[in-house]
Structure 1
Amino acid sequence: MTTPAPADDRPRLLMVMPYRQFVSKAQAEGFWVGAIWDPRLETPEYLDDVRARADLFVTADFRDPRVLRRTLHEVAREHRATLIYHIGREETMVAAYEAAEDLGGELNPAAAIQLLADKHAMRDLLARRGLSPVAFEAAPTRQEVADAVERIGYPAVVKPSALAGSRGVFLWQQPQDLTAWTALVDQYGYDGPFLVEEYLRGPEYSVETLSRDGRHQIVGITEKLLGPPPLFVEVGHVHPAPLPAQRRRAVEELTTRFLTACDYRFGPAHTEVIWTERGPRIVESQARLGGDRIPRLVELATGLDIEQAVFAALAGRPAEPVAPTATAIVRFFTFPPGRVDEIRGLETAARLTHVDELSLRLSPGDTVPAVRDSKSRHGHVIVSGVTAEEARTRCAQVLAAIEVVVDGTPVRADGRTGVLGTPV
């Protein structure tokens, strides 16, 4: 624990694993901010920055929910925190909200957070309410997955119930896939439980919402760009999604009905939906902002800083809906495994005026890791345009400009092999 917070009359907000910008944005809305972090989860440099910004900085081992709950109890009482909040990674959310309920400082019922964090509990709720029906079956251990897949029918999606960020999600298309699936879950050291679901075919979207007092404001709908099966790693997002008005309304209505059914009361939610031939179906939802730089896409498209809006709403100043005036795209780089011989075109792409962010996590001499989930992608670019067509054209221009030579083969960021500068 560091220096105690100053004695002032600001409302006291205790946050579990707040990212550094959350600390600053909460303070800008008038809050005293205490930050609780597990030092294993970020670099010392990053946490030093959080420590410098926060009014109070405390470390705890999040691997044991009892330790986290005890820490929250002690810090909240010592520093008179009136609100406890968590919009970081899902794994520790339930414990944080249970402690908040004990102390009377919750913004959401712990049961609502449990429904959003537990894929099986979410499916049970949807089935009971007759919302977004999907065939599913729980498999407590990996030994029970193959039989569950047989009962659901091929192809089936297998999800590790206790992993987040799409880690370990796999499309099981035939019995022989057992070998590849086993190798995948071995990489995560995960043995169960699992959820086995019918394969939902169709375009996928995420719905970004802000809730206050149980009322859910649609911020916007984002189109997902997915890699190939069996992993379906997300390779990009487009905001706002190009959706016909009737389809958009159906997706929005399903999302708000779902959040109401969960009794979700306050804050952002990131709800994933697939549009099937039977209409929209919920994939899953998280009680947090969307990852993959989606908040930045929202800001570029609408001007709304959705992160700031969370804390403004907490301070009693909810944001009004904002119509998009542009389209923003993030595309992630996924190069083939091998050794990096050379990188070309990165500086040229970075100088393009329509590039908002550009990051490549590779250097000459590096070994390119295989992409198996969102954390193993190799970098990203964000661009925007007045129209969706302009944004897509600009994104294609950047992807065509960047080339990584892997084991002697030039590979462009758009996935093509060949000579730099070939027209797209």
Structure 2
Amino acid sequence: MKVTIADVKKYESKEVTIGAWLSNKRSSGKIAFLQLRDGTGFMQGVVAKNDVEEEVFQLAKNMTQESSLYVTGKIVEDKRSPLGYEMQVSSIELIHEATDYPITPKEHGTEFLMDHRHLWIRSKKQHAVLKIRNEIIRSTYQFFNDNGYVKIDPPILTGSSAEGTTELFHTKYFDEEAYLSQSGQLYMEAAAMAFGKVFSFGPTFRAEKSKTRRHLIEFWMIEPEMAFVDHEESLVIQEQYVSFVVQSVLENCKMELDVLERDTSKLEQVKAPFPRISYDDAIHLLKDKGFTDIEWGEDFGAPHETAIAESFDKPVFITNYPAEIKAFYMKPVPGRPEVVLCADLIAPEGYGEIIGGSERIDDLELMKQRYEEHNLTGEAYEWYLELRKYGSVPHSGFGLGLERTVAWLSGVDHVRETIPFPRLLNRLYP
């Protein structure tokens, strides 16, 4: 019977066959220990010289790293194993013998590993990070589907910038100018006016020449948009969503978190509601913490966000930023037009902003004014203006950066390990 490593617990004391790769091995006299992986998990196969034919034992001893095989044997309980089970091997069928596999158990430099990313993702830690990424995606779909959201796919090729920045990838669209999307948000607003509550999940692109551990050139965003939802209601949805995702990872990725040696005690505290601090109060907090140069009206950098997050034991919302440093579509705070109804959600442990969100301007005349202030061409944005012209309603939305969230929950230092094939300032290979 052919089974997967993930399912071996169903076959205790039974003989099964697994298609696998040899990730590592060691042998001692009359016994060989095979570290097997099949994509669903990792497991040890024990080959005892006295229990198998001589050619099987010699194959086990001489097989090379990352060779592929069918391995057959009995599944037995092993409490020392992270999986809880191992295989007592009875036979091996070699499928393909790998030679000179470049990533050996020794230490390798980051650039070498990134050059071999197509192979590096086979390793136990990288496998764990990407399994956690998958769980975040799975639980995201579950949360929004269970709460009545419709998934809508915005275009990747657009005729304009979503946020009015110049950090865009430009291309020709036949005889027109076009850009790779930096956000699906504007299109999601249109979708919300048709479906009420929507979300998207897809790649976005920023031509930002940044080399920090928090930035990628291509990254994935989860962007919900909700009609008839104000800013305060949106904050509640955000904290419920993040809490749901974190608890899902804790429940369903125990082995992966163990492999990464992730301290889960802080993640276990991530349950709604989350603390909130206004931008005004955040400025005072930073000055008290020694950031004497920060002035009202300036955006926060990574050191500022980390210092603010250290004051709380959960993710924290920083609310009501100055309008001048935020996007043109954000709604002003009533009675205080110099600040807007927005929030950034800052993850603990130095991982920075994982969500940016706001209530959107729903007044046609104010949006026209914003167009003039930001020199937005009416032709490229006419359709967006029409959302305020035909049945405008209060609406809010947010975007969660998947890779930063994966980094935070996995406990890895750099977002380059949180996406299968990262695109960085100096990397387009593999």
TM-score w.r.t. length of structure 2 = 0.22
Give 1 or 2 for the bigger CA radius of gyration.
Answer: 2
TM-score w.r.t. length of structure 1 = 0.23
